[in-house]
């Protein structure tokens, strides 16, 4: 029996990729901001509708750099969500800051902006919010809170490539936004990522931080790391820029199929994207409510037994990790919505190459439990 995975990487024709590799071989320029790197950086400005784009070798290094570029005070607190991938809070800690976990909004599963202000202390320096599954955070409310308390705002948009709010690129909100181009994402460059930001004064700072602080052969002006995207990654990124819209169209049809066939299944809730938002179509999450005959884990196991690999995403939540759970503030935090949803959310297989028979089978498994 074939395996159906939760996602599948977007890949160009092998001949097209080979042609790109031949150009790189001919140039003998493999990394250090080569021609393909610079071309991709330029084209992403148009796709993401952002004035400034800085490419990175992966999204985690990009997020690390975003926090570093904002010069957050040593030991300060950064309010974030525990309903996210491990990289989000880890990047805070690696910047010698402390993550303060805030509960989430039950419909979009993004950070609950109404609960942020109660967590702000004199030691708070920033808010790191996540556009979970491509659902945008309440960016207007977060912006107002940040301005009121003089806080920096960083967005983790790993799931939100090409998402727009009323036609505005999601990467133009806050101080800096991180996008991931990992192979599991809608748009990929094998590994990779980027930062988008409005402030042109950050261009030089971020360039330095991703390149050891080196400006020229004889000038090192900052303490940087190696975050540069290489030419092979950039080549894949350039090719996939021509393909991701087609993939989104295919995924939109998959989403419509799921929506139609699961809409009336008792105990299954399908989170709804706001009408003014363009959906990145990164994941298809469902919520297994208490009146469904199976628990989320039981449904997960039922799928796994027939080689359909769904994902309990995000479980465990970040505040359950060994490295965070024993902190007194974490123990005392009110994270009741996260603690409920971490046992209920299941991401279904979601990519353009899924066949109708596969989709029918997935939906039948869910329906037959009723």
Q: Is the pLDDT of residue 204 over 90?
A: yes
pLDDT value of residue 282: 98
Q: What is the CATH T-level fold of the domain 245-368, as seen in this structure? A: 3.90.1150
Distance CA 61, CA 225 (A): 9
* The predicted structure's pLDDT at residue 77: 98
Kindly state the percentage of the chain with pLDDT values over 70.
Answer: 99
Query: What average pLDDT does range 81-105 have in this prediction?
Result: 98
Q: Over the stretch 273-332, which tens digit does the pLDDT of each residue have? A: 999 999 999 999 999 999 999 999 999 999 999 999 999 999 999 999 999 999 999 999
Backbone dihedral region of 166: left (phi > 0), alpha (psi from -120 to 50 degrees) or beta?
Answer: left
* Section 324-352 average pLDDT: 96
Task: Find, among 9, 59, 106, 2, the residue nearest to 350 by Cα.
Answer: 9
Predicted local distance difference test score (pLDDT) of residue 369: 76
Establish how many alpha carbons lie within 13 A of residue 113's alpha carbon, considering only the half-sphere containing its beta carbon: 16
Q: Encoding tokens for residue 110?
A: 């993004």
pLDDT score, position 297: 98
Query: What pLDDT, on the 0 to 100 scale, is given for residue 135?
Result: 98
pLDDT band at 1 (very low <50, low <70, confident <90, very high): low
Same fold, 14-102+110-241 and 245-368: no
pLDDT, residue 181, reads 98
pLDDT at 368 (0 to 100):
87
Q: Mean pLDDT over residues 218-227, rounded?
A: 96
Architecture field, domain 14-102+110-241: 3-Layer(aba) Sandwich (3.40)
The answer to whether residue 240 scores a pLDDT higher than 90 is: yes
Q: Is residue 111 over pLDDT 80?
A: yes
Mean pLDDT of the 228-245 span: 98
Average pLDDT, integer, range 108-115: 98
224 pLDDT higher than 90: yes
Average pLDDT value for residue range 227-239: 98
Average pLDDT score over residue span 239-263: 98
What is the SS3 assignment for 72-87?
CCCCCEEEECCCCCCH
Domain boundaries, the chain: 14-102+110-241, 245-368
CA nearest neighbour of 171 among 338, 293, 49: 49
């Amino acid at each position: 029996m074939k395996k159906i995975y939760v996602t599948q990487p977007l890949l160009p024709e092998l001949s097209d990729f080979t042609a790109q590799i031949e150009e790189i071989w001919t140039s003998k320029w493999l990394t250090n901001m080569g021609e393909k790197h610079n071309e991709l950086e330029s084209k992403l400005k148009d796709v993401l509708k952002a004035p400034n784009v800085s490419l990175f070798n992966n999204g985690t290094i990009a997020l690390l750099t975003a926090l570093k570029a904002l010069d957050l005070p040593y030991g300060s607190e950064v309010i974030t969500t525990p309903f996210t991938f491990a990289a989000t809070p880890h990047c805070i800690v690696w910047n010698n800051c402390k993550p303060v976990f805030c509960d989430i909004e039950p419909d979009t599963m993004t950070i609950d902006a109404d609960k942020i202000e109660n967590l702000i202390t004199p030691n708070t320096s920033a808010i790191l919010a996540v556009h979970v599954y491509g659902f945008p955070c309440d960016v207007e409310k977060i912006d107002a809170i940040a301005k009121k308390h003089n806080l920096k705002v960083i967005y983790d948009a790993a799931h939100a490539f090409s998402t727009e709010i009323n036609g505005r690129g999601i990467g133009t909100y806050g101080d800096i936004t991180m996008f991931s181009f990992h192979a599991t994402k809608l748009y990929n460059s094998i590994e990779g990522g980027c930062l988008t930001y409005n402030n042109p004064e950050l261009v030089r700072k971020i360039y330095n931080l991703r390149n050891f602080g080196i400006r020229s052969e004889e000038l090192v002006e900052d303490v940087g790391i190696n975050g540069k995207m290489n030419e092979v990654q950039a080549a894949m990124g350039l090719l996939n820029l021509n393909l991701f819209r087609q993939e989104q169209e295919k995924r939109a049809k998959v989403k419509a199929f799921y929506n139609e066939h699961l809409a009336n299944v008792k105990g299954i809730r399908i989170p709804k994207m706001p009408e003014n938002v363009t959906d990145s179509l990164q994941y298809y999450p469902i919520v297994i409510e208490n009146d469904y005959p199976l628990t989320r884990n039981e449904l997960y196991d039922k799928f796994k037994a027939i080689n359909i690999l769904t994902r309990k995403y995000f479980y465990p939540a970040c505040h359950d990790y060994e490295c965070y759970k024993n902190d007194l503030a974490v123990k005392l935090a009110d994270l009741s919505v996260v603690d409920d949803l971490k046992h209920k959310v299941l991401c279904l297989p979601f990519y353009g190459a899924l066949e109708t028979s596969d989709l029918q089978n997935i939906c039948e498994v869910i329906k037959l439990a009723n």
